[in-house]
Amino acid sequence: MYNTKAYAAASATSPLAAIAIARRDPTAHDVQIDILFCGICHSDVHAVRNEWSDFMSTTYPIVPGHEIVGRVTAVGEAVTKYQSGDLVGVGCMVDADGTCPQCQAGLEQFCRSVIFTYNSPDQHQTAPVTYGGYANSVVVDERFVLRVPSNLELAGVAPLLCAGITTYSPIRHHGVKPGQKVGIVGLGGLGHMGVKFAHALGAHTVVFTTSPHKTEDALRLGADEVVVSCNANEMQKHAGSFDFILDTVSAKHDINAYLNLLRLDGNITLVGAPEKPMEIAAFSLLMGRRSLSGSLIGGIPETQEMLDFCGEHNITADVEVIPIQKVNEAYDRLLKSDVKYRFVIDLATLKAA
Ligand code: NAP
Ligand code: ZN
């Protein structure tokens, strides 16, 4: 075991602060990574504040962070895919049983024994729970380490490991293609990646936002149209016209307003995970045989496919790089929908601290 610097919250109401955490020495299949950048996902905020306690309660201290890019510093003797010096990524998962039907299908996120990057039981018992990427170093089984395309700017790659795959996976699953009309609800970290992917796949892409000042950015990011969602007239113009809508909103909102925009057999997929349940009017689904579904990140093979797609299409997240000392301020800004469009922590600022 060795110690590394990290940032953790000691309770649901504490700010994040510096801490030393233990990491295991790399075992045979492990890759040790010097973390360069880590994105700030809204899930980090939900978890730190224990907002998902009905589903998975938070163990403190919590070290969040599951949008990790870094450089390999050591590998175990059985590692075949990586060597020291490689640029790599780690997303939301660090282990799974590898044998269940979901794992065999490359859908490790749905494995009943999935180990998330933070706040999951630590199988190696280095700590009570896994600790995430707001840290200088991490050790991960090579099966959960991803190759990073060499042509992309690294800070903008970090958010692909969660915001990227979480939007890419449902957009692919629902067969988004040219000629389709696709809606993206919420222009934050996930939403802005959804816009980039839907646009790259040739769909007519419409952004729904509660923030009128994001209109110009939405168009620059690849949207064909922008609708300010509190404008009922604007919403009505799109009634019954969408093939697919991806809802990335982090707080309670009216889903029925979006269900009514779907055409026959249209689908809304929720990736946003608000703290409180939301109401669905039966008729919003009955009319037009519409469906509502959910999606959780994406499996490891698809995450690699998404990274390679981003390499080919030159896609990265639009980021605001911050020193780790500004992480609490960034959380407050996220809660005000004030992010362009992902905060990414430069971990060199933790090393220097
Ligand atoms: P984010 O950057 O904070 O973006 C969320 C956006 O939702 C905001 O920018 C805002 O966009 C909109 N919004 C916020 N509050 C709203 C409200 N009260 N009513 C309507 N719109 C509102 O968050 P994120 O990192 O993209 O994450 C979004 C959600 O996805 C979170 O709940 C997160 O936990 C979840 N998530 C799920 C998965 C998964 O696997 N399913 C993975 C990662 C994250 P506008 O300003 O444009 O309205
Ligand atoms: Zn995330």
Residue 45 pLDDT exceeds 90: yes
Q: Is 314 a member of any domain?
A: no
**What pLDDT score does 353 carry?**
83
Q: Is 312 a member of any domain?
A: no
Residue 331 pLDDT exceeds 90: yes
Nearest atom of ligand 1 to the alpha carbon of 341: 2
| Nearest alpha carbon to residue 337 among 198, 208, 160 | 208
> What type of residue sits at position 267?
N
Q: Is 252 a member of any domain?
A: yes
| Nearest alpha carbon to residue 343 among 134, 159, 88, 157 | 159
The CA distance from 174 to 131, in Å, is 33
| Digit-coded pLDDT (tens) for 2-43 | 999 999 999 999 999 999 999 999 999 999 999 999 999 999
Element (H, E) at 2: strand 2-8
Q: Give, for ligand 1, the residue of 160, 248, 254 to mutate: max count of ligand atoms closer than 8 Å to Cβ.
A: 248
Q: Is 106 a member of any domain?
A: yes
| Digit-coded pLDDT (tens) for 233-290 | 999 999 999 999 999 999 999 999 999 999 999 999 999 999 999 999 999 999 999 9
Q: What is the CATH number of the domain that holds 10?
A: 3.90.180.10
Phi, psi of 234 (to 5 degrees): -60, -45
For residues 68 and 92, membership in a common domain is answered with yes
For residues 261 and 324, membership in a common domain is answered with no
- Read off the tokens for 183: 């809606």
205: which residues sit within 8 A by CB, 6+ positions away?
182, 183, 184, 195, 198, 199, 222, 223, 224, 225
For residues 76 and 204, membership in a common domain is answered with no
Nearest atom of ligand 1 to the alpha carbon of 250: 32
For residues 101 and 84, membership in a common domain is answered with yes
| Residue-range definition of the domain harbouring residue 30 | 2-161+319-351
For residues 121 and 167, membership in a common domain is answered with no
Taking each continuous run of H as one helix and of E as one strand, the counts in the chain are: 12, 17
Q: Is 307 a member of any domain?
A: no
Asked if residue 334 has its Cβ within 6 Å of ligand 1, the reply is: yes
- Write the CA distances from 53 to 77, 171, 248, integer angstroms: 39, 29, 20
Q: Is 91 a member of any domain?
A: yes
State whether residue 81 is helix, strand or coil.
Answer: coil
- What is the domain count for the chain? 2
